[in-house]
């Protein structure tokens, strides 16, 4: 009897692993799986917690990523690098996997795995546990799916202290021709937590990216702010979530033309290298924040302000405000606090992001590969 059950179980496991039983695959909700990975990454007691660049916790997170990806059946490329910070040399690693598709053109999906603000109590749940967890669930799903084009997943380290991992990756890839067939890059950085989930293109003013591009030895002649991938992501979000749940392309604000963003995350190096980018982030561009309408204030929730003036969409007193509606890098960026402030929000946003991007990556409808 026992043996009989074992044989049956072993058979179902074999069928599930072979990936050829589409009914089994369809039954798995990878958006839901991502919320489980978010716990493993950002929960202090049940998972890793804070993952500051240059610490043992960053290394531990890298090991977690490596184990997950090899467990899914990938050959994982580990790219070690060092960088200078505050007069010290620090080490980190990027993790890269690729699933080949029908056409030899590549979309890169990136999500940094380090966090910052531990001294303020941040555990990096939204920034960027959410993006990492979503990317891991996507890696798991596409490994067992036929793709119309190649998908490369890049998990950079040391983003928070200077985009070190992604800039190192782009510099090395340019040297080795690894960007030659890359036709777009999706950056997942803080894809849950804030009031509104946006998708942005790079900035039409090269000056916004110039300092990052110069680090790579690139100039404005190489730069691209082409919005094609942003617009493809928007369409996929409409098809998956409908008009009410789609990504938002922000309207024009001073310094930020419609749907465009700054160079403060891992998409920057790719835009410098002439690749169209789509940057997903959950924030609130409507707020007149500490430095204006730049999306750094993520929420109107009064708990994240000393005092929020809803009518003027800014602090009651801009001189004395200390919190500015920010979640990232603060005491609010942990799953327990987020769940109190926004019940169900983070898991919903993470799950939606997985489903929208999986829809885009597994269809030939959104990306023109010719
Ligand atoms: Zn981040």
Ligand 1 centre to CA of 146 (Å) is 30
Ligand 1 centre to CA of 67 (Å) is 22
Ligand 1 centre to CA of 160 (Å) is 6
Pairing of strands 149-155, 88-99: antiparallel
Ligand 1 centre to CA of 366 (Å) is 26
pLDDT at 342: 98
Ligand 1 centre to CA of 270 (Å) is 16
Residue pair 147/55 in contact by the 8 Å Cβ criterion: no
Ligand 1 centre to CA of 10 (Å) is 41
**HSE-up of 103 (CA within 13 Å, CB side)?**
16
Ligand 1 centre to CA of 17 (Å) is 33
pLDDT at 27: 77
Question: Could you state, in order of their start, the residue ranges of all structural domains in the chain?
Answer: 45-361
| Tens digit of each residue's pLDDT, the chain (370 residues) | 334 343 444 444 444 444 444 445 567 899 999 999 999 999 999 999 999 999 999 999 999 999 999 999 999 999 999 999 999 999 999 999 999 999 999 999 999 999 999 999 999 999 999 999 999 999 999 999 999 999 999 999 999 999 999 999 999 999 999 999 999 999 999 999 999 999 999 999 999 999 999 999 999 999 999 999 999 999 999 999 999 999 999 999 999 999 999 999 999 999 999 999 999 999 999 999 999 999 999 999 999 999 999 999 999 999 999 999 999 999 999 999 999 999 999 999 999 999 999 999 999 999 999 7
pLDDT at 13: 43
**DSSP code string of 2-46:** HHHHHHHHHHHHHHHHHT--HHHHHH--HHHHHHHHHHHHH-TTT
pLDDT at 24: 55
Helix, coil or strand: residue 239: helix
Ligand 1 centre to CA of 60 (Å) is 18
The residue count for the chain? 370
Ligand 1 centre to CA of 107 (Å) is 20
Ligand 1 centre to CA of 360 (Å) is 23
Rounded Cα distance, 79 and 96, in Å: 8
Angstrom distances, CA of residue 136 to CA of 104, 237, 293: 22, 19, 32
pLDDT at 345: 98
pLDDT at 25: 57
pLDDT at 12: 43
pLDDT at 7: 40
Angstrom distances, CA of residue 262 to CA of 135, 193, 246, 278, 296: 22, 20, 22, 12, 11
pLDDT at 92: 98
pLDDT at 159: 95
Q: Take residue 57 and report the two structure tokens written for it.
A: 């916790």
Ligand 1 centre to CA of 24 (Å) is 34
Q: Which fold has domain 45-361?
A: Aminopeptidase (3.40.630)
pLDDT at 20: 45
Given the structure tokens 């310094």, which residue do they identify? 255
């Amino acid at each position: 009897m026992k043996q009989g059950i074992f044989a049956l179980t072993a058979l179902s496991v074999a069928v599930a692993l072979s990936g050829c039983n589409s009914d089994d695959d369809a039954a798995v909700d990878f958006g839901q799986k991502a919320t489980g990975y978010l716990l493993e990454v950002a929960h202090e007691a049940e998972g890793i917690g804070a993952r500051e660049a240059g610490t043992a916790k960053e290394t531990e997170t890298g090991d977690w990523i490596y184990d997950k990806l090899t467990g899914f059946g990938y050959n994982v490329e580990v790219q070690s690098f060092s960088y200078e910070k505050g007069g010290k040399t620090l080490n980190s690693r990027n993790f890269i996997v690729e699933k080949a598709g029908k056409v030899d053109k590549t979309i890169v999906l990136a999500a940094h795995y380090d966090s910052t603000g531990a001294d303020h109590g941040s555990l990096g749940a939204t920034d960027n546990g959410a993006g990492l967890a979503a990317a891991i669930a996507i890696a798991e799903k596409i490994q067992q799916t036929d793709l119309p084009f190649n998908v490369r997943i890049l998990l950079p380290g040391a983003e928070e202290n200077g985009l070190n991992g992604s800039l190192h990756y782009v510099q090395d890839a340019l040297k080795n021709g690894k960007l030659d067939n890359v036709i777009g890059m999706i950056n997942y950085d803080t894809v849950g937590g804030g009031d509104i989930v946006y998708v942005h293109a790079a900035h039409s003013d090269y000056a916004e990216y110039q300092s990052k591009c110069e680090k790579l030895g690139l100039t404005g002649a190489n730069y691209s702010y082409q919005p094609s991938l942003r617009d493809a992501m928007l369409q996929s979000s409409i098809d998956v979530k409908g008009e009410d749940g789609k990504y938002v392309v922000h309207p024009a604000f001073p310094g930020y033309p419609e749907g465009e963003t700054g160079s403060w995350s891992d998409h920057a190096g790719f835009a410098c290298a002439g690749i169209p980018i789509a940057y997903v982030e959950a924030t609130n561009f409507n707020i007149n924040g500490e430095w204006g309408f730049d999306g750094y204030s993520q929420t109107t929730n009064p708990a994240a302000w000393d005092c929020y003036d809803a009518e003027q969409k800014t602090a009651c007193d801009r001189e004395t405000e200390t919190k500015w509606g920010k979640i990232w890098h603060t005491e609010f960026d942990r799953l327990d606090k987020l769940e109190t402030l926004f019940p169900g929000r983070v898991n919903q946003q993470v799950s939606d992001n997985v489903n929208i991007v999986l829809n885009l990556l597994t269809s030939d409808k959104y990306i023109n590969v010719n």
